[in-house]
Structure 1
């Protein structure tokens, strides 16, 4: 038998062998270890590295990748999905625990990961396996096309086209043909207790109700139609492309004509509902932050009438809260009135004033488009930076990084902050705002790449290194004085390790990329035989301990190392007793590898226990196939052995201490 072995790439802190065609201005190994400790290897292989003269922005950038990785859930047959909440919620899509409300952000953010497996699985789940159940409004087709702009995988995106068209047609159930606009109940827009829903209740409630023709859903449907048109062109289907392009143009025209509120000079809802409190087709009586969403998709015409809406964004009398952007202006009668309460009277989520990372993300995306694609004077690069900084500051709770659900706009602190629910909330994006906004990579389909950092003299340096784009490595380097990187003063750009833009002034650059026909391929997809997301039937976990509480956490497809959200099983280890955990597959399976993830103190390398692996043979006897004397905390431990067949796998744990506790986050079998 081949000697079994344990892969411990994290034990050796030597730099990973330099890849060809890369730059190395950032010590990625050192930076990765400083942010992720024992789990640094995954990040070195997957994320673009970034450093900047503003420590808070840099720290939040690396934290948000940790949040993203924590929300990658392995669901077995369909591979990986991205969740919104770390733990399961009663209102999510069972048994996957996904929600399509923030899927757009998940795709925009995740498209920058170097291993395409995660997003390929997730997009397939959305379009091939019912993940996009339309519980919430969405622009997932647009986000999927944005992902294509990075990787240029025509075959993958055109495969999604039939499902995209079906879902687009399904949304006709929210279309008013007489007005040629889409409508939605605000709670289905992921924005409960807005002006339309509160006023439709007479000011008494507003969690549900208040159907309206909203800027959000109409912008999303425009964006999806335009994306479908572009994807059809990739298939050389000119007739289909023209059909959806025309649909998008008609949507744009109707939107601008009918949802621009001339009195408020803002895009606002009009009521679909008609009752004793509000009348059908009337405009709502206040401005909301959602009125800036159309610019996320470059929908409005470039003229002063529409651009003037942005003049109120930063005004303290309008949307510009001291600690975050308000979702509703403070002049609204029910601004910040609390309607919903959770356990012990804690304040629940509402959209009548609180600052939400969800819509702050949308505003920053819209601002980047405004600064890049529009002729206007209302918004500057300084505004982008200051709102980005304000948003970054919201990521801190008591000095520690922890993005929560929503925030007070006029004082510091979170509103909805529920234990085991709100922590490390994946309902927004941040790193895509750094890459496409601050650092200025503006993805396009062709070989001309525009780079336009939204940076003024407030920063002394930044570097975004080895971003995978069109199958090439892209590095952006800015050094105000030339003394930090010693490569010259100003902005320079490198493609595949070679300088293509010499150090020069900080302004828009147009780069001609070489045609690259080699598409980055995802890593090999393997089925996790041990996962059970339904918490019943097989695979079934058992233990030598009598305590069966939380056993499902051992194979629920989730693993993270945040110390304030629990997702591990505490296995008691006794020195004079056989201590084991087993997975019963229910039938014979063939496998060659298992992966164990342990949770322990952040500053700890090895855990105190050792492990051996056994399989149940057909004669009813257990046979050991591997063992490890060194297990690392807070990362994955791969144990590889000769391929075997069995219906059960068992893990034996030993400890030199008389009694100890082992925290196991996840067991995977391949």
Structure 2
């Protein structure tokens, strides 16, 4: 039996008792940094501890990769720190933008996804550095928040970007997009390796790929949907027609009936491979069409699902393989960074494509009734649990997601300093839209269809989920022993809205609300250490300038790994005051600061005994009317003062006796 109600009244976020429980859960996972997460993340738990713990770890990854770039707000980064192929000076890379947007759509603060989407379509970004599904990502955000303003504001930019893709990478004779695997963010594929004669595969090997063409279908559909909201039927028809034509070409030409899989065909023509011939094996990339709801629902295409369940094909014991072991060059290595193996997609398990596959399976199990006969919710949960386990370093047992993994051992492969806590995949979205089962929609309906194997997951609860501006709670309990009531329950704004004795689809009508957005602008951002302005300095002349720059680079994290140190350190065994300063190039008004201090007692770091903010006004002097919050370790310390205007600002810190201070970030606000 199921019960459904209509919901209209906006209720408080949560009752006092629930608030206390929420605070305890957040403090357990986020410690002193809880204040950042408190009003931003939905609460989630389930009977599988690893799935739950990884959920909160992924919010740490999300928070870590929100870089404040000043007047442009926040962007999501892929790597914690700079890499040579980023878009300078910002450190953006567009290949994982769909994951950044899909994860961000569940953040209760809309600013991050909005700032990021606007930035990625701006002239400061490189929206075609790699293949992308950014328009689809923006549309996906609209389906969750119900506010079309962001999508409408970017509609023309989306069209411009799509047209440039056509100019640069579209083969009119075949009606398909082509790309080198490296520009598809997947170097060393079957296509690129074989196109080199088995000698390399880092570059070259241009092919018509099911990935890129699926992205372009998703982008075209998004543009069409947004244009329809705007009332521009001509644009909607144009892009719907493009999506339909691409879908036909993918199904007619990229489906291989011998391999029963979507595979590449060659665009390149050389001594080793010929134009339009298919590659010689299956890749995990062939599952991506379902990630974007491309294939028809039939028994023929559903045969591809067999391969991701077959241990001799794409199903590794510790992760999905990107290529099958039968391939001649499976797991062969050509490229190194020093002694470390570099990125290859000829077998290693990548969270990037695992996310795509789990999203695809979520779609199949939700709305592909024929194809769903070839896969089960049990298979889905098994792969989700395997993916959650992959987040744990096998040597240390700590949560540290890296670039890729050996599918037969579970150990990270690349393992470079840049690799820690890598934001190149999704997980939060898999939990919310998959396990919890929120299927975002354009209309005023909350649709819930949880994907849960009750033999593996006996309960789950997601609360404070912001959907169409409303606060949603979804709860499942097999026996009632956990929450006092068995079955599936849905609340909206604290009111009962729907229920069922069993796991089944619920649809609940609700009116949408608009969520206000606050956008304070940090005035003290230095994008790169060698930026002409602003200039930074410190009390220790021998300090690496990069470490001083860290204090003003808009990045905040508290991870302990020695290869990703972030901030300015006071000298060991010296409790004297030390300072870092920034010259903004012109006088700027500010009246408060957000400060981040690092703590790791094993490494000898703790919050300072005290700190002061100063301005240079004919000499350094303390700001007037200061209210200095108690120094917070591994969290945000807030300070305020009577509004002051100055070109040069600095923070002075006094370490505790016997400890060093690491100043992670110092941000000034008006």
TM-score category by the smaller chain?
over 0.9
- CA drift of 1:642 comes to 1.4
The equivalent of 1:510 in structure 2 is: 507
Distance (whole Å) between structure 1 residues aligned to residue 431 and residue 20 of structure 2: 17
SS of structure 2 residue aligned to 1:308: helix
- Counterpart of 2:389 (choices 382, 390, 393) is 393
SS of structure 2 residue aligned to 1:597: strand
> 2:339 matched to 1:340?
no
Q: 1:37 to 1:621 in 2, by over 3 A?
A: closer
- CA drift of 1:223 comes to 0.8
> 2:179 matched to 1:178?
no
> 2:483 matched to 1:485?
yes
8 Å CA contact 2:528, 2:549 repeated in 1:
no
> 2:531 matched to 1:558?
no
> 2:311 matched to 1:316?
yes
The equivalent of 2:598 in structure 1 is: 599
SS of structure 2 residue aligned to 1:412: coil
- CA drift of 1:18 comes to 6.9
> 2:206 matched to 1:207?
no
8 Å CA contact 1:348, 1:416 repeated in 2:
yes
- Structure 1 window deviating more from structure 2 (258-267 vs 101-110): it is 258-267
- Cα root mean square deviation, aligned: 2.0
> 2:541 matched to 1:543?
no
Q: What is the correspondence of 1:378-417 to structure 2 with a 5 Å cutoff?
A: 378-397=374-393, 398-417=396-415
The equivalent of 1:665 in structure 2 is: 664
Distance (whole Å) between structure 1 residues aligned to residue 522 and residue 660 of structure 2: 26
> 2:495 matched to 1:501?
no
The equivalent of 1:167 in structure 2 is: 161
Distance (whole Å) between structure 2 residues aligned to residue 200 and residue 497 of structure 1: 59
The equivalent of 2:272 in structure 1 is: 277
The equivalent of 1:127 in structure 2 is: 121
- Structure 1 window deviating more from structure 2 (496-505 vs 353-362): it is 496-505
Distance (whole Å) between structure 2 residues aligned to residue 238 and residue 23 of structure 1: 50
8 Å CA contact 1:476, 1:492 repeated in 2:
yes
Q: What is the correspondence of 1:250-399 to structure 2 with a 5 Å cutoff?
A: 250-344=245-339, 346-375=340-369, 376=371, 377-397=373-393, 398-399=396-397
8 Å CA contact 1:37, 1:602 repeated in 2:
no
Deviation sequence 1:565-618 (CA, Å, 0-9, x none): 21111023887855332221121111111121100127999724201222222x
Distance (whole Å) between structure 1 residues aligned to residue 27 and residue 605 of structure 2: 12
The equivalent of 1:79 in structure 2 is: 73
The equivalent of 2:27 in structure 1 is: 33
- CA drift of 1:636 comes to 1.1
Q: 1:632 to 1:199 in 2, by over 3 A?
A: same
8 Å CA contact 1:605, 1:633 repeated in 2:
no
Deviation sequence 1:333-360 (CA, Å, 0-9, x none): 111111112212x211100011000000
- CA drift of 1:79 comes to 0.8
SS of structure 1 residue aligned to 2:374: coil
- Structure 1 window deviating more from structure 2 (473-482 vs 620-629): it is 620-629
Distance (whole Å) between structure 2 residues aligned to residue 620 and residue 601 of structure 1: 35
8 Å CA contact 1:539, 1:584 repeated in 2:
yes
8 Å CA contact 2:576, 2:655 repeated in 1:
no
SS of structure 2 residue aligned to 1:160: helix
Deviation sequence 1:411-464 (CA, Å, 0-9, x none): 221111112x11001000011100000110000001222211110222221101
> 2:215 matched to 1:220?
yes
- Structure 1 window deviating more from structure 2 (361-370 vs 238-247): it is 238-247
8 Å CA contact 1:216, 1:290 repeated in 2:
yes
Distance (whole Å) between structure 2 residues aligned to residue 411 and residue 66 of structure 1: 26
Q: 1:401 to 1:110 in 2, by over 3 A?
A: same
8 Å CA contact 1:610, 1:629 repeated in 2:
no
Q: 1:528 to 1:542 in 2, by over 3 A?
A: same
Distance (whole Å) between structure 2 residues aligned to residue 425 and residue 304 of structure 1: 37
Distance (whole Å) between structure 1 residues aligned to residue 142 and residue 82 of structure 2: 30
8 Å CA contact 1:572, 1:660 repeated in 2:
no
Distance (whole Å) between structure 2 residues aligned to residue 417 and residue 374 of structure 1: 38
Distance (whole Å) between structure 1 residues aligned to residue 56 and residue 110 of structure 2: 19
- Structure 1 window deviating more from structure 2 (578-587 vs 199-208): it is 578-587
Deviation sequence 1:354-391 (CA, Å, 0-9, x none): 10000000000000000011122111000100000111
The equivalent of 2:651 in structure 1 is: 651
SS of structure 1 residue aligned to 2:94: coil
Distance (whole Å) between structure 2 residues aligned to residue 256 and residue 130 of structure 1: 36
- Return the TM-score normalized by structure 1: 0.93
SS of structure 1 residue aligned to 2:341: coil
8 Å CA contact 2:627, 2:640 repeated in 1:
no
> 2:191 matched to 1:196?
yes
8 Å CA contact 2:287, 2:357 repeated in 1:
yes
Distance (whole Å) between structure 1 residues aligned to residue 620 and residue 447 of structure 2: 64
The equivalent of 2:92 in structure 1 is: 98
Distance (whole Å) between structure 2 residues aligned to residue 605 and residue 192 of structure 1: 40
8 Å CA contact 1:271, 1:282 repeated in 2:
yes
- CA drift of 1:621 comes to 5.6
- CA drift of 1:166 comes to 0.4
Distance (whole Å) between structure 2 residues aligned to residue 430 and residue 207 of structure 1: 28
- CA drift of 1:299 comes to 0.5
Distance (whole Å) between structure 1 residues aligned to residue 18 and residue 620 of structure 2: 53
The equivalent of 1:614 in structure 2 is: 614
Distance (whole Å) between structure 2 residues aligned to residue 214 and residue 77 of structure 1: 38
> 2:458 matched to 1:463?
no
- CA drift of 1:63 comes to 0.4
8 Å CA contact 2:599, 2:606 repeated in 1:
no
- Return the TM-score normalized by structure 2: 0.93
- Structure 1 window deviating more from structure 2 (598-607 vs 159-168): it is 598-607
The equivalent of 1:7 in structure 2 is: none
Distance (whole Å) between structure 2 residues aligned to residue 61 and residue 621 of structure 1: 46
Distance (whole Å) between structure 2 residues aligned to residue 467 and residue 110 of structure 1: 12
Q: 1:42 to 1:605 in 2, by over 3 A?
A: farther
Q: 1:491 to 1:587 in 2, by over 3 A?
A: same
